[in-house]
Structure 1
Amino acid sequence: MADTPDARFEALAAEFLDGLCRRRPDWASALGRHEYDAELPDHSAGGLAAESAWLAGQAEEFADLDRAALSVPNRVDAAILANEAARIRFQIDDLREDEWNPAEANPGVPLYTLLARDYAPAAQRLTAFAGRLEQVPSTLSGNRALLAGKALSRIHVELAIGQFEGTAELIGGELDAAVAAAREAGAEGLSEARAAIDAVRPAALAALREHIAWLKERLAAGDAGLEEFRDPRIGAELFARKLSLSLDAEADAAEILARAEADLDRVSGEIVEAAADYDGVAVPADPAERSALVRRVLDRLAESHPDNDSILAYGRQALLKQFAFVREHDLVTVYSDPYEVAAMPEVHRGVAVAYCDPPGPLESADVQTILAISPTPRDWTPERVDSFFREYNLHMVHNLMVHEAMPGHLLQLQHSRRYQAPTPVRAALWSGSFVEGWAVYAEELMARHAYPGDGDPRAVRMQQLKMQLRMIINAVLDGRIHCHGMTEAEAMALMTDRGFQEDGEAAGKWRRALLSSSQLSTYYVGYVEVSDLVRDVRAEHPQWSQRQVHDAVLAHGSPAARYLRELIA
């Protein structure tokens, strides 16, 4: 290989990704790198310290790069790679979430990944499962040593207990069901794989029970005042740094909050106008009457809603309509890659309502995208279940599937997989703000083109505006809770009054804001950046059709929007 700046960077990028995959084998499996499928990440104090030291050495090498001498794609990837190294070091050394959030060490997701996709023969995946299962006792023992004597976050302990119990169910009945299904399908080599699992499963289950009991003891001790809980709010300084590194955005935390609060006023006016149009009345002048009008229309729309038995089927039907609509209006190039709509597994529940789980960006096997929707938790009261499905009524499900699938995440990530860069950096380290920003932009795009849902585009438009209010409020909550001490009562009032959210949705969002600092800003920041980018590309290329504009925005993988201007040019 020639000794050029590009060649040196490409070698360094490959070395960095290989090293990160070795240290984070769960992440490697999700990417589609399967050489570490039998390993679990090391969340012990020693493992975290070693990873931080390795990242520091990598950062020194990145600093020596002559970025100006690189090609444009490599220059973008170098910036992405350096930001990721800084982000992980910040997480380990400064935020130190592994020391107060026990959910970080849950082995459930790394185990579930091996069952969820048919990227390799069942026996191979189950053998890797046994390898990870064998490491569960030592992993959990190391995590308890890390957490001992530390002040934990109460809400994160509660989340961890529920998710660890989900992991116990996964390696019990769900694993047996997966093995039975593989046997019924005629998979070979199952006897050896099953024997390997049976040899280590009892110890893994015992370790999980021990860990859950230990977490429950810590929870009870905190509730009894025998030890202190830490505030899950991370504070203004850490939040600002986490937001900058997580989103790789040009705006800072203060700018984002200020623009969000201004947009909240703008969209509040738009939803009043949309409600007046739906109801066939004039826009009221009195603020209380304006709010009452919106609430009345939303309450009427909420009367038509699914339940736990019908929401998956309805989501599938909505998606088929969206495929047809996007093609008919030539909004963006549509592909026919495989997908399925499925119930969200227990191990993933507790934070988000739905997600799009695509094949790993480096996955070579032909596997489908999973669109998961979460039924209500089993311990919810009937009243809370009803509140949930009033929020996720039939019109909202249409908007939700636009976001998660067509032309949102499902389609955008299909475009992203087709981009071939000189290095796999951009595929492996995609931008969550761009991915979520496109999905929110897709909601607005469909509503602007009068997507009818079940027949009335005004109903979908009302739900899209309600979701836009929610997205903006998410960013406001994120900043105000973690930086300015917003209380639960203030947050609930903002969501239910200004955002017209059902109590159940608002309660879940308050919990999510405490659990996932900076994540709730992802949607708003990404939406603003994608919308601004699309506007500017249209102005620069007035001869392009909307499909050409959108294809250009999606043609470079999933980098933060700040890099796309240079790439499109």
Structure 2
Amino acid sequence: MKKTALSLSLAAIFTLAGCAQTTTHSESQQATSVTSQQTSDVAFAAFSEQFIEQYWQQYPELSVYFGYGKYDDVITIPSAANRSAELAFIATQLAKLQSFDLAQLSDHLKIDYHLIENTLKRAKWELETFKSWQWNPSSYNVSYGFASILNSRFKSEDGKLRQVFKRLKFVPEYYDAAQANIDQPTLEYTQLGIQQNKGAFSVLTDDLLTRVDALSTFSAEEKAEFKQRFANAKTAIHGYIDFLTALEQELQKTGNARSFRIGEALYEDKFAFDIQSGYTAKQMYQKALADKARVTAEMITLTDQLWPKYFPDTARPGDDTQAIATLIKHLSQRHVEKSQFVNEIKRQIPELERFVMEKDLLTLDPEKPLVVRQTPDYMQGFALASISAPGPYEKKENTYYNVEPLDALTDAQADSMLREYNHWILQILNIHEAVPGHYTQLVYSNTSPSLVKSIFGNGAMVEGWAVYTERMMLEEGYGNFEPEMWLMYYKWNLRVICNTILDYGIQVKGISKEQGLDLLMNGAFQEQAEAEGKWRRATLSQVQLTSYYSGFREIYDLREAQKKQLGKDFDLKAFHEEFLSYGSAPVKYIRQLMN
């Protein structure tokens, strides 16, 4: 029987008439509780809004990254005085946050509370305990802020160049402070700092002077001052590069560089702040070891199935690892030409979009453009592919799919890289980075009604979603269920798992480069160029490589639990869109809300 609003109201009246005193008392308690929660929510929402504004004042460079715009003309000088001011800011904001009773907040705002708390406590730990501001020279680079302003599609020419004009005056003092901070850096971060700061000159080009000269809105005095500030900035960057180059030579000569290995205590702390998974780093490492064995078993089964197709006249080797490696090596010969690598990525994006729409897996927004481009010079040297997405304040800006050029590689290196990103794996890479992976998730994140979740998002959720979509797309029929595609997927997934094993192994267990390359090449069937690149990346980061596996595991497990709970009522598109609606929150909190 369909109940109308009137019939429900009458039923409530009769119920109240039968047990007036008890129900009224209960309802009174509920009303008081609801009123108290509403009051707390309103107060917390006001605090959050004020906190974000003050956060951008404290961290103007981050506000540029998120497209806030108000502080684009400011560069923070990384001095001792500013570090003291930052610690004072953290103490003040933590005191305000902890004045709220967490139990009185609605579920959505409880997540915001945890995200703000984690952000502040992590910043304090970074300043006082981790202290990478002393030993990571690559953390000092003015390029990104200038590039963000100059790449904007929605700022006028005058607006862009006036913000550049204002920022330029900070550059000499910025690099003076950076040099003063450096104390026994790692050799690897020193070399990366040299490489990426050289990339600054691809942003601060002499073309800027020509553009300023062409503007009638700049006075003659302003044009002269722009030219002087521009020259001073370039001198400062050259000075920092020279400083790091001399430091690199000294570190190589004396061997006094800090180790890139941070050790178990710092690693566990960083894992807790960065991943927020509910597991310790050691537990996640142990889970990865178990999953490595499971995935390898799946690859053995597929190799048994495919071997007669590709080697009908050759007996399968008795050694499973050798058999898998032989088959993968044979299949990996199918790849694009070196000169067509970027073009092939561009070609595949529309195909992925069509598949997602035809299978009704997610709603895609055609007004949020994705631009495939060569990775800018100031960002090169870290990863083959990456996404640069607009922040929640600049939602209509382009999202850039950055691809490292293969031009600088020798033919042998390029061939190795292309075998790694072969016909099948290049498709999986594009799912991960673009559709429906990072690009799609970050577009959704910008639509979250909570700025806190969009701004202070969880990296493991972001990376985990991209990894989750790889398997989800294949489960839904992308690749026509080809066993070759599934074999290559497992190879790719094994890399995700081995990222965790490698990162923990390097930072905590102290494995050698030879052991690391053996894990990647023989344990995960990777090409040498890819394995070398991953080793380098693992020496230039900590914990981040574990985010892929831990996030994926939690998202996939959540989906399977939802399917079991809802049965025939489970809807995959509804699951995806609800999951993404919470912004980039940690999966453990999204699980609470979805359950």
TM-score (norm 2): 0.88
Of 433, 456, 465, the residue aligned with 1:404 is: 433
1:440 aligns to what? 467
Deviation at 1:314, TM superposition (A): 0.5
**Distance in 1 (alpha carbons) for counterparts of 2:176 and 2:428:** 44
Of 258, 261, 273, the residue aligned with 1:230 is: 258
Of 59, 63, 67, the residue aligned with 2:102 is: 67
Deviation at 1:534, TM superposition (A): 1.0
Alpha-carbon spacing, 1:285–1:101, altered in 2? closer, same or farther (3 Å): farther
Of 51, 58, 63, the residue aligned with 1:28 is: 63
Residues 117-141 of structure 1, C-alpha deviations (whole Å, 9 max, x = no match): 3132232122212222221111000
Alpha-carbon spacing, 1:188–1:446, altered in 2? closer, same or farther (3 Å): farther
**Distance in 2 (alpha carbons) for counterparts of 1:480 and 1:35:** 43
Q: Residue 112 in 1 paired to residue 137 in 2? A: no
Alpha-carbon spacing, 1:305–1:133, altered in 2? closer, same or farther (3 Å): farther
Alpha-carbon spacing, 1:129–1:154, altered in 2? closer, same or farther (3 Å): same
Q: Residue 266 in 1 paired to residue 294 in 2? A: yes
Q: Residue 40 in 1 paired to residue 70 in 2? A: no
Are the counterparts in 1 of residues 370 and 401 from structure 2 also a CA contact under 8 Å? yes
**Distance in 2 (alpha carbons) for counterparts of 1:406 and 1:349:** 23
Deviation at 1:357, TM superposition (A): 1.6
Alpha-carbon spacing, 1:8–1:261, altered in 2? closer, same or farther (3 Å): same
Are the counterparts in 1 of residues 316 and 323 from structure 2 also a CA contact under 8 Å? no
**Distance in 2 (alpha carbons) for counterparts of 1:384 and 1:133:** 39
Of 355, 360, 371, the residue aligned with 1:340 is: 371
Greater alpha carbon shift after TM alignment, 274-283 vs 75-84 = 274-283
Are the counterparts in 2 of residues 123 and 188 from structure 1 also a CA contact under 8 Å? no
1:565 aligns to what? 591
Alpha-carbon spacing, 1:286–1:482, altered in 2? closer, same or farther (3 Å): farther
Alpha-carbon spacing, 1:42–1:463, altered in 2? closer, same or farther (3 Å): farther
Greater alpha carbon shift after TM alignment, 241-250 vs 42-51 = 42-51
Alpha-carbon spacing, 1:245–1:302, altered in 2? closer, same or farther (3 Å): same
Of 501, 504, 507, the residue aligned with 2:532 is: 507
2:248 aligns to what? 219
Q: SS of 1:342's equivalent?
A: strand
Deviation at 1:544, TM superposition (A): 2.4
Residues 105-157 of structure 1, C-alpha deviations (whole Å, 9 max, x = no match): 1111222211223132232122212222221111000111111xx21100000
1:451 aligns to what? 478
Q: Percent identity of the aligned residues?
A: 27
Larger radius of gyration: 2
Greater alpha carbon shift after TM alignment, 384-393 vs 257-266 = 384-393
In structure 1, the gaps of 5 or more residues are none
2:174 aligns to what? 139
**Distance in 1 (alpha carbons) for counterparts of 2:304 and 2:77:** 56
1:376 aligns to what? 406
Q: SS of 2:518's equivalent?
A: helix
Are the counterparts in 2 of residues 450 and 458 from structure 1 also a CA contact under 8 Å? no
Residues 40-74 of structure 1, C-alpha deviations (whole Å, 9 max, x = no match): 13322222222122112212222221011111111
**Distance in 1 (alpha carbons) for counterparts of 2:217 and 2:414:** 44
Q: Residue 153 in 1 paired to residue 172 in 2? A: no
Deviation at 1:26, TM superposition (A): 1.7
1:317 aligns to what? 347
**Distance in 2 (alpha carbons) for counterparts of 1:406 and 1:174:** 35
Are the counterparts in 2 of residues 450 and 457 from structure 1 also a CA contact under 8 Å? no
Of 50, 66, 78, the residue aligned with 1:15 is: 50
**Distance in 2 (alpha carbons) for counterparts of 1:64 and 1:326:** 45
Which amino acid in 2 is paired with 1:326? V
Are the counterparts in 1 of residues 370 and 400 from structure 2 also a CA contact under 8 Å? yes
Q: SS of 1:172's equivalent?
A: coil
Of 519, 543, 546, the residue aligned with 1:521 is: 546
1:532 aligns to what? 557
Alpha-carbon spacing, 1:176–1:351, altered in 2? closer, same or farther (3 Å): farther
Alpha-carbon spacing, 1:176–1:470, altered in 2? closer, same or farther (3 Å): farther
Which amino acid in 1 is paired with 2:256? E
Q: SS of 2:381's equivalent?
A: coil
Q: Residue 492 in 1 paired to residue 517 in 2? A: yes
**Distance in 2 (alpha carbons) for counterparts of 1:301 and 1:123:** 53
Which amino acid in 1 is paired with 2:347? Q
Which amino acid in 2 is paired with 1:132? R
Q: SS of 2:590's equivalent?
A: helix
User: 5 Å matches for 1:422-441?
Assistant: 424-441=451-468
**Distance in 2 (alpha carbons) for counterparts of 1:511 and 1:461:** 28
Q: SS of 1:371's equivalent?
A: strand
**Distance in 2 (alpha carbons) for counterparts of 1:174 and 1:506:** 39
**Distance in 2 (alpha carbons) for counterparts of 1:175 and 1:567:** 49
Q: Residue 97 in 1 paired to residue 132 in 2? A: yes
**Distance in 2 (alpha carbons) for counterparts of 1:137 and 1:551:** 47
**Distance in 1 (alpha carbons) for counterparts of 2:561 and 2:401:** 32
Are the counterparts in 2 of residues 362 and 428 from structure 1 also a CA contact under 8 Å? no
Residues 70-100 of structure 1, C-alpha deviations (whole Å, 9 max, x = no match): 1111111011110111111111111000100
Q: SS of 1:240's equivalent?
A: helix
Alpha-carbon spacing, 1:93–1:545, altered in 2? closer, same or farther (3 Å): same
In structure 2, the gaps of 5 or more residues are 1-35
Q: SS of 1:520's equivalent?
A: helix
1:361 aligns to what? 392
Aligned-CA RMSD value: 2.5
Deviation at 1:282, TM superposition (A): 12
2:444 aligns to what? 415
**Distance in 1 (alpha carbons) for counterparts of 2:175 and 2:317:** 54
1:248 aligns to what? 276
2:356 aligns to what? 326
**Distance in 2 (alpha carbons) for counterparts of 1:392 and 1:173:** 37
**Distance in 1 (alpha carbons) for counterparts of 2:554 and 2:209:** 46
**Distance in 1 (alpha carbons) for counterparts of 2:278 and 2:407:** 38
**Distance in 1 (alpha carbons) for counterparts of 2:467 and 2:209:** 39
1:208 aligns to what? 237
Residues 167-204 of structure 1, C-alpha deviations (whole Å, 9 max, x = no match): 12321267579x59x98xxx985788866642311111
2:16 aligns to what? none
**Distance in 1 (alpha carbons) for counterparts of 2:326 and 2:216:** 59
Residues 199-220 of structure 1, C-alpha deviations (whole Å, 9 max, x = no match): 3111111111111111111111
Of 162, 165, 170, the residue aligned with 2:198 is: 165
Greater alpha carbon shift after TM alignment, 352-361 vs 300-309 = 300-309
Q: SS of 2:401's equivalent?
A: strand
Are the counterparts in 2 of residues 165 and 212 from structure 1 also a CA contact under 8 Å? yes
1:198 aligns to what? 227
Residues 375-424 of structure 1, C-alpha deviations (whole Å, 9 max, x = no match): 1373x433222212221223221111100111111222222222213xx2
Deviation at 1:5, TM superposition (A): 1.6
